[in-house]
Amino acid sequence: MGYRVVVAGATGNVGREMLNILAERQFPVDEIAVLASRKSLGTEVSFGDKTLKTKDLATFDFSGWDMALFAIGSDATKEYAPKAAKAGCVVIDNSSLYRYDPEVPLIVPEVNADAIEGYSKKNIIANPNCSTAQMVVALKPLHDRARIKRVVVSTYQSVSGSGKEGIDELWDQTKSIYNPVDDKPAKKFTKQIAFNVIPHIDVFMEDGSTKEEWKMVVETKKIVDPSIKVTATCVRVPVFVGHAESINIEFEDHLDEAEARDILREAPGVMVVDKREDGGYVTPIECVGDFATFISRIRQDSTIDNGINLWCVSDNLRKGAALNAVQIAELLGNRVLKKG
């Protein structure tokens, strides 16, 4: 006996990846519905060896469906998530709409699986921001051992984090660099992204940080520990898929790099590749299509008493979005619904 599952936003990058991962992980699906906006109605998407036609999100009846994975953005989620939840269908939402709602659990299953029990307040569970998800997978086991005081993180985020338009803009601009009569000005991004890096993701806030940076601060506190201080600088880089992060961690207790490496090797969802030689580390291009969060360059920070530096890489369409949502669905099934 399996689940009746809905994927809303099935024609987008994350929605398609959700379908791929549900099939790859052999999620116990009895029936699946794929939804899209009216303009994409009837578009065909793949689910394992099946081809499915999208139905209209606006007219879909969520009654009798067990769970819905939403990848449709905050505006549409605001309209349709409460309808699904009211009909008894648990929503797992990839947008930022519910992440900061105290009545909605924000979950990374390797980190705070017990938070799933709070889903019933609104019948909604939030998926974290892509840059936060991979970072907290690395932070949690180290925090359990030596208690983290402060995190300084700089991100190197791929253009797929901004959707298909971001991917297309990098592709088109890169080609146009070699063709002097083909000018492709910035549209999706604030400056040229090809052969460039842009220290600006999401909107600016009053204190000079961007909303992406604010998300990393607030979400880390909600998922791991509200006492952790976090400061972030988020940068868009000309990479198609895969986010990378340089993370500096200050602990309350001493933790040497060898023990940190051993802890991370045993941590769920983490793969340590840390050889002090040419190529002995993971880069974004190597993590694409993988479930793991990769950790490299683990080393002591000698400028503070209890400090560790590390390099963290993950496929942002997977752990940063679709994979985490499917893992939440698995957690919901195993701990709460118990049908599969």
- Binding site: which residues? 11-14, 39-40, 99, 157, 160-161, 180, 236, 316
> What tokens does 79 get?
């309209």
Beta partners for 106? 126
CA distance 313 to 270: 10
Q: Which residues are annotated as a binding site for substrate?
A: 157, 236
Strands 229-236 and 293-300: unpaired
CA distance 304 to 298: 15
**DSSP state for residue 58 in the 8-state scheme:** G
Q: Considering just the CA atoms, what is the radius of gyration of the chain in Å?
A: 20
Q: Which residues are annotated as a binding site for NADP(+)?
A: 11-14, 39-40, 160-161, 180, 316
CA distance 182 to 202: 28
Written as one string, the DSSP assignment of 235-304 is EE-S-SS-EEEEEEEEESS---HHHHHHHHHHSTTEEE---SSTT-S--HHHHTT-SSEEEEEEEE-TTS
> What tokens does 10 get?
């099935």
Whether 200 sits among the annotated catalytic residues: the reply is no
Q: Which of 89, 130, 287, 312 is catalytic?
A: 130
Residues 45 and 52: beta-carbon distance below 8 Å: yes
Q: Which of 89, 143, 234, 243 is catalytic?
A: 243
CA distance 245 to 153: 7
Q: Which residues are annotated as a binding site for phosphate?
A: 99
CA-closest candidate to residue 6, choices 92, 60, 68: 68
Backbone angles phi, psi at 12, to 5 degrees: -85, 175
Whether 254 sits among the annotated catalytic residues: the reply is no
- Location of structure tokens 């998926």: 127
Residues labelled catalytic = 130, 243
